[in-house]
Structure 1
Amino acid sequence: MTNYATVLRTPGLTRLLLSQLVARFPAGMLSLAILMHIEDTYSNFTSAGVVLAALSIGQAVSGPVAGRLMTFWGMRPVLIATMVACSVSLTALALWPPVLWQAAIIAVLAGLTIPPVSPAVRTIYPKVVNAALLSRLFSLDASLQEVIWVIGPVATTAVAFAISPAAGILVAAGILLLGGLWFVAAPEVGKVRIPKSRRRAGAVLRNPVVVLMSIIGALLVGACSAIEAAVVAEFGHERAETGVLLAVFAVGSLVGGLAFGHVPLAPMSLARRMGIVFLGIGLALISTNPIWLGAAFFVSGLGIAPVFSGSFSAVSSSVRFSESAESYGWMATGQLIGAAAGSALAGIANDLAGSLGGFLVSAAFALLGAAVALIWRRSIPDLRGTDIAPRPDTEPMNILNAPS
């Protein structure tokens, strides 16, 4: 913890961390709230999977586009416009008449306008701490975001039980707006300027590290989304076990991130960490006893935050500063494609085979993620003892003196 205390002594960093955490908090509520609301409305998980997939598709398109727009218009204008539009869309999703195709269209709009808080704050980080502390900061960020997944599902379940599943969406929309305003008020958001990239949009996908980290993130988030759907299928939104078990999943990630998420990335690191995620999900296939599932989820969670922190470090060390926001946007796109696939496939599997189907889908995603990290381990940078800050957009140039 001493490592993290050193990071937090950086002036203004604590406020930046807390404000972005609140701004991103709806991420821990929305999937579960929408899943409950749509399942409650249409009485099947397939419809819920369709709407969640629509939301994730919108977010997938939004990620790199919003990251690119911030290089042209600045962070604050893009963040403010998207947070207002997204809050309105989510409100409409909760209150609109229950017609499935309309719900799907509104979900796409909500996804397209999700505020790009993650790409923004991860672009800011290298400008507020020195390179030696950046790996610890990425680890702290990845660990703290698990607070979202600890409290979010519990809060969503409590609101759904006390009021209605639709109320969970409305609460998330309100937090998104208020938290987003707190984040954009941070001085660092106004001070950091992202240089315009000299390359066209999408050129960062020629970087194999960006592509590989996006794929691994997609498979990891797909596994998590499928677990969420499986737990709802097993326990429903009326029982406390739903929120508690998902919170235990996130607690495991928080513990894993704080314990070894800051360990420098090596070529085999992500394969080992994804292997831990798969191990825990595999244990969950044995029994749906809540205590057993809690223990299995905790084990699985130990690998999640370390995978994310390692991925952020790998991308940061492999791109130019002007390309960092777009790169993180593509990572978010990968994760959201995974969320869409995981939710949709698990929803269908739940209807066909009950919660076991969802757990099997989750295990398949995690196993594939570990395999990808293992097979392409040579493309993962070895960051032991190296600077992980993005490369500057200007490079030194050798000048030859003319002979006298």
Structure 2
Amino acid sequence: MGLYRDLGSNPGVFRVLGSQLMARFPFGMLSIIVLLHIQLAYGDYTSAGIVLASQSIGQAVSGPLSSRLMGKWGMRPVLTATSIACSVLLVVIAVVHLPLPVVTAIALLVGLTTPPITPAVRTMYPKLVPGKQLQALFSLDAAAQEIIWVIGPVVAVFVTSQFSTAAGLCVAAAFMLLGGAWFISSPALGKVKLLPSKRGLGAVLRYPTVVIGTVLSFFFVASFAAIEAGIVAAFAGPHGGHGSIESGVVLAIFAGGSLVGGLLIGHREMRPWSPALRIVLVLAGTAACLVSLNIWWLCAVLFIGGMGTAPTFAAISNIVSSTVRFSETAEAYGWIGTGTLVGVATGSAFAGIAIDIGGAHGAIIVSAGLLVVCAIIAVATLRWMPDLKGRSIEPPPETGTLTIPLP
């Protein structure tokens, strides 16, 4: 634990960590809230899947594009504009009942204006702490982000079940605005200048590790969106009520397992096989949910599975940070963020369809299937995984050694 305590000696680190988590918190709420809001408004989960798919298309475009815009125009202007625009669009969906095609178009705009918080902060980290502390910082970030991906749905379920889905969307918009303002006003943000990329959009995908990280993020996070929808469906009321205290407890236990795993495992030196082993641990806990939907059984197996969650996120960050030049890390994390956000929307969409067909078990099967694919990819790409044992995680230098032949 001394590794995490030492991070406090670097000015501004904990403020950046806390503010970016608050700014990103809505991302963990939106998939569930939109799923429930659209299902309630139009009477089926398939309509919700269509809206979420449209949002995911927008996010797929915005991730790398907005990251490059931060290098051109600066982080603060881009983050401010996108935070305001996205929040306003969410409130519109919440308070105005519109035809499904119009809502689908607005969801596309929500995706396009998603604030690029993740690429901004993960590009900042190597400039905030020494290289020898980066693994600990990425691990702490991955553990803390469970507040987003697992506690977020708990808050979403609570607000929607106690108040309404419209209230849930407004709460998500408020988090986006307030958290974004806190992060944007951070002094550390002004001290880190993103360098404009010297190559065209998408050139960073020539790094195998960026492609691997993006694909792993997509399948990994999609599996969580699916199982979260499945847990909510498992404890829904007999007359279609949305969520309950039981689903909130189960998802909170899932988050607790991830937090423990992140603190105990995530900071360990990453070897090429580490991501695959951590994914398999999550798969084991997810697959075990098919045995029984008893609340105590779900709490036990998901706590165990959750212990692999934060360490996997930390591994993906380590892979990118150690292999991509600093001038290209913003776009690299933009692609990773695209994989993550599209994974949330896609997982929720497929889970919604699976729930219509096979109930809660259908969504859990979708989640387990996504994790199987994720584990296979991690194993198949071992040759490109960096071995970070005994290494300091720092971006490669911007320039290489030039050999000039003697006459």
TMscore range, shorter length: over 0.9
Matching of residues 289-328 of structure 1 within 5 Å: 289-328=294-333
**Whole-Å separation in 2 of the counterparts to 1:333 and 1:357:** 26
Name the structure 2 match of 1:352. 357
Q: How far 1:397 sits from its partner (Å)?
A: 4.9
**Whole-Å separation in 2 of the counterparts to 1:186 and 1:396:** 37
Q: How far 1:346 sits from its partner (Å)?
A: 1.5
- Picking from 267, 271, 276, the partner of 2:276 is 271
- Picking from 258, 270, 274, the partner of 2:263 is 258
CA distance change for structure 1 residues 280 and 254 in 2, over 3 Å: closer, same or farther?
same
**Residues 240-285 of structure 1: per-residue CA shift (max 9 Å, x gap):** 1222222222221111111110111111111101100110011001
- Picking from 289, 292, 304, the partner of 1:287 is 292
**Whole-Å separation in 2 of the counterparts to 1:53 and 1:295:** 32
Residue identity matched to 2:12: G
Name the structure 1 match of 2:239. none
Q: How far 1:161 sits from its partner (Å)?
A: 2.2
- Indicate if the aligned counterparts of 1:149 and 1:247 stay in contact, CA closer than 8 A: no
- Indicate if the aligned counterparts of 1:57 and 1:340 stay in contact, CA closer than 8 A: no
Name the structure 1 match of 2:382. 377
- Indicate if the aligned counterparts of 1:96 and 1:103 stay in contact, CA closer than 8 A: no
**Whole-Å separation in 1 of the counterparts to 2:250 and 2:212:** 30
Name the structure 2 match of 1:209. 209
**Residues 22-66 of structure 1: per-residue CA shift (max 9 Å, x gap):** 111112211121122112222222122222222222112111001
Q: Which runs of 5+ in 2 are unaligned?
A: 237-241
Q: Which runs of 5+ in 1 are unaligned?
A: none
- SS of structure 1 residue aligned to 2:145: helix
Q: How far 1:223 sits from its partner (Å)?
A: 0.7
**Residues 174-221 of structure 1: per-residue CA shift (max 9 Å, x gap):** 110011011000111112111122111100111111101111111101
- Indicate if the aligned counterparts of 2:287 and 2:368 stay in contact, CA closer than 8 A: yes
**Whole-Å separation in 1 of the counterparts to 2:323 and 2:41:** 46
Name the structure 2 match of 1:9. 9
Name the structure 2 match of 1:136. 136
**Whole-Å separation in 2 of the counterparts to 1:116 and 1:273:** 27
- Indicate if the aligned counterparts of 1:218 and 1:337 stay in contact, CA closer than 8 A: yes
Residue identity matched to 2:194: I
Name the structure 2 match of 1:73. 73
**Residues 271-330 of structure 1: per-residue CA shift (max 9 Å, x gap):** 101100110011001011111111121122111111110010111111110100000010
- Indicate if the aligned counterparts of 1:53 and 1:343 stay in contact, CA closer than 8 A: no
**Residues 137-165 of structure 1: per-residue CA shift (max 9 Å, x gap):** 11111111112245322322222122211
Q: How far 1:18 sits from its partner (Å)?
A: 1.0
Q: How far 1:395 sits from its partner (Å)?
A: 4.2
- Indicate if the aligned counterparts of 2:31 and 2:345 stay in contact, CA closer than 8 A: no
- Indicate if the aligned counterparts of 2:26 and 2:152 stay in contact, CA closer than 8 A: yes
- Indicate if the aligned counterparts of 1:119 and 1:326 stay in contact, CA closer than 8 A: yes
Residue identity matched to 2:291: I
Name the structure 2 match of 1:179. 179
More deviation, 295-304/179-188: 295-304
CA distance change for structure 1 residues 126 and 291 in 2, over 3 Å: closer, same or farther?
same
- SS of structure 2 residue aligned to 1:176: helix
**Whole-Å separation in 2 of the counterparts to 1:342 and 1:153:** 14
**Whole-Å separation in 1 of the counterparts to 2:258 and 2:53:** 24
More deviation, 239-248/198-207: 239-248
**Whole-Å separation in 2 of the counterparts to 1:363 and 1:401:** 60
**Whole-Å separation in 1 of the counterparts to 2:275 and 2:149:** 21
Q: Tell me whether 1:164 sits opposite 2:164 in the alignment.
A: yes
**Whole-Å separation in 1 of the counterparts to 2:162 and 2:64:** 38
Q: Tell me whether 1:363 sits opposite 2:383 in the alignment.
A: no
**Whole-Å separation in 2 of the counterparts to 1:382 and 1:156:** 39
**Whole-Å separation in 1 of the counterparts to 2:338 and 2:109:** 15
**Whole-Å separation in 2 of the counterparts to 1:340 and 1:21:** 19
Name the structure 2 match of 1:21. 21
- SS of structure 2 residue aligned to 1:25: helix
Name the structure 2 match of 1:104. 104
**Whole-Å separation in 1 of the counterparts to 2:387 and 2:302:** 29
CA distance change for structure 1 residues 42 and 184 in 2, over 3 Å: closer, same or farther?
same
More deviation, 162-171/330-339: 330-339
**Whole-Å separation in 2 of the counterparts to 1:21 and 1:105:** 28
**Whole-Å separation in 2 of the counterparts to 1:52 and 1:290:** 28
Identity level (%): 50
- Indicate if the aligned counterparts of 2:158 and 2:244 stay in contact, CA closer than 8 A: no
Q: How far 1:8 sits from its partner (Å)?
A: 2.1
- Indicate if the aligned counterparts of 1:233 and 1:355 stay in contact, CA closer than 8 A: yes
- SS of structure 1 residue aligned to 2:115: coil
- Could you tell me the TM-score, scaled by structure 2's length? 0.95
Q: Tell me whether 1:387 sits opposite 2:398 in the alignment.
A: no
**Whole-Å separation in 1 of the counterparts to 2:315 and 2:150:** 21
Name the structure 2 match of 1:41. 41
Residue identity matched to 2:226: A
Residue identity matched to 1:288: L
- Indicate if the aligned counterparts of 1:139 and 1:262 stay in contact, CA closer than 8 A: yes
Q: How far 1:372 sits from its partner (Å)?
A: 1.0
- Indicate if the aligned counterparts of 1:32 and 1:156 stay in contact, CA closer than 8 A: yes
RMSD of Structure 2 on Structure 1 (CA)? 1.6
- Indicate if the aligned counterparts of 1:57 and 1:336 stay in contact, CA closer than 8 A: no
- Could you tell me the TM-score, scaled by structure 1's length? 0.96
